[in-house]
Amino acid sequence: MNEEIKKQIIELLETKRYGNLYQYMEKVNNQDISLLFEELSEEDMVLLFRLLPKDEAADVFSYMEPDLQEKLINCLTDKELKTVVDELFMDDTVDLIEEMPSNVVKRILKTVNKEDRETINELLKYPSDSAGSIMTTEFIDLKVNMTVEEAFKKIKKIGLNKETVYTCYVLDIRREIIGIVDIKDLLLAERDTLIKNIMETNVITVNTLDDKEEVAKQFDKYDVMALPVVDKENRLVGIVTIDDAIDVLQDENTEDFEIMAAMTPTEDSYFKTSVWKHAKNRILWLLLLMISATLTGAILTHYEEAFAAIPLLVSFIPMIMDTGGNCGSQSSTLIIRGMAMDEIKLKDFFKAIWKEIRVAILVGLVLGICNSVRVLIQYHDLKLSIVLGLTLIATVCLAKTLGCILPMLAKKLKLDPAIMAAPLITTIVDTGSILIYFSIAVSIMNI
């Protein structure tokens, strides 16, 4: 939002010129008003909220963060709360109920009529990662034998409370979908055309229990604005709209980033997560990885004689470990992301490994030769130079192969491939590379 307008609003609030305030508010987007609320005192927030027209108030409310929503609800009368909840879309109401403490939930449910309360209870039952949990039950349904004219009348009658009017669903008597009609086709058709003559019968549906991430990916694949959700009996029970699909995609990406950096993912934003929670999310993986790293240490103690004889050998450990870790994380990142984007499938297993092995040989040769030359120039020691060259080539090949195999294996075992990212791969490759390094060193340098 324009900083100028924000300043003006705050100033008008402070000087209590509410008439002018009303005019100013009209210039501001609802999303920006909800952001502005975060900076206001409780009284100013409630005051400003009461100035909003009721449909806009509900819209602003739906954009607010849960903690702010709770604060606001606690300041509203039951009647005001009812006005807000009545205007909310069903999926937003369900989200709200899931976030609020029980006393607030009770107040919200009291404002809702019996029929809606049943719908809400149904929606609350869907698992949190399912399509059912992100769908809304408000959509426009048409019948095959309606004319375009009648369809428009129906939209005009019920459209105001529907989340989207861009796609309408044609249902039969059992509420199964037999077609969809895009609003564009309705607009371009003649008024007396029958719906059945313009509807698209080739409908993509998802199931209430489908994974919401898979559902979100369908939006990307099929370029649709909404997807119909059907229950086990194939009846239409709701729709998922594209704005919710984008949120799911972004949340899943954030989750992948967090898992790939060895953290327990959290749904809250960085600053909203407490220090304790942050620490808790990170310690488990760190401990686990620390324990596995001691395995590499155990291998090192095995070669104490070797580096007691030639202490210089120790100084290459960080370079070998880091390079191995980086190579492994490059491969695993590409494979994990490729699988998340459906570009790499499990049936491509050997194709992917073959590709990684060829890349590894190329990369390994370049890094190995660079290092051999450097060591030869710096230490004038041909054997040491050969040891390092060979170690790097072998380490790169090991790292890239594991980086490719492990995420695919995880997927095959129905685990999240993202756990097989840099941190775990690095720890595993470390053990291998140290073993390779000292085996080669011992045999070539006759220690």
Minimum distance of its own copies from residue 230's CB (angstroms): 16
19 torsion bin: left (phi>0), alpha (psi -120 to 50), beta (else) = alpha
Task: Identify which range of 23-31, 47-55, 101-109, 405-413 contacts its own copies by CB under 8 A.
Answer: 23-31
The CA-CA-CA angle for residues 26, 31, 34, to 5°, reads: 90
Q: What is the C-alpha separation between 314 and 275, in angstroms, rounded?
A: 38
Question: Could you say whether residue 350 binds its own copies (CB under 8 A)?
Answer: no
Minimum distance of its own copies from residue 24's CB (angstroms): 11
Nearer to its own copies, 104 or 242 (CB): 242
Please provide the DSSP assignment of 99-115 as one string. HS-HHHHHHHHHHS-HH
Q: Of 417-436, which residues contact its own copies (CB under 8 A)? A: 422-423, 426-427, 430, 434
Task: Identify which range of 9-17, 37-45, 125-133, 277-285 contacts its own copies by CB under 8 A.
Answer: 277-285
Give the residue from 253, 276, 281, 279 showing the smallest Cα distance to 266. 281
Q: Which of 39, 67, 214, 343 binds its own copies (CB under 8 A)?
A: 343
Question: Could you say whether residue 362 binds its own copies (CB under 8 A)?
Answer: yes
Question: Could you say whether residue 111 binds its own copies (CB under 8 A)?
Answer: no
In this structure, what token pair is assigned to residue 213? 């991430």
Q: Of 294-333, which residues contact its own copies (CB under 8 A)? A: 294, 296-298, 300-301, 304, 307-308, 311-312, 314-319, 321-323, 325-327, 329-330, 332-333
Nearer to its own copies, 212 or 337 (CB): 337
Q: Which of 26, 115, 192, 233 binds its own copies (CB under 8 A)?
A: 26
For residues 71 and 38, is the Cβ–Cβ distance under 8 A? no
The helix/strand/coil state of 255 is helix
Q: Which of 147, 207, 254, 439 binds its own copies (CB under 8 A)?
A: 254
The CA-CA-CA angle for residues 136, 85, 52, to 5°, reads: 115
Minimum distance of its own copies from residue 326's CB (angstroms): 5
Task: Identify which range of 13-21, 81-89, 131-139, 337-345 contacts its own copies by CB under 8 A.
Answer: 337-345
- Please report, for residues 24, 44, 308, the alpha-carbon distance to residue 7 in angstroms, rounded to integers and kept in the order given: 11, 14, 70
Question: Could you say whether residue 165 binds its own copies (CB under 8 A)?
Answer: yes
For residues 218 and 204, is the Cβ–Cβ distance under 8 A? yes
For residues 328 and 403, is the Cβ–Cβ distance under 8 A? yes
Minimum distance of its own copies from residue 165's CB (angstroms): 5
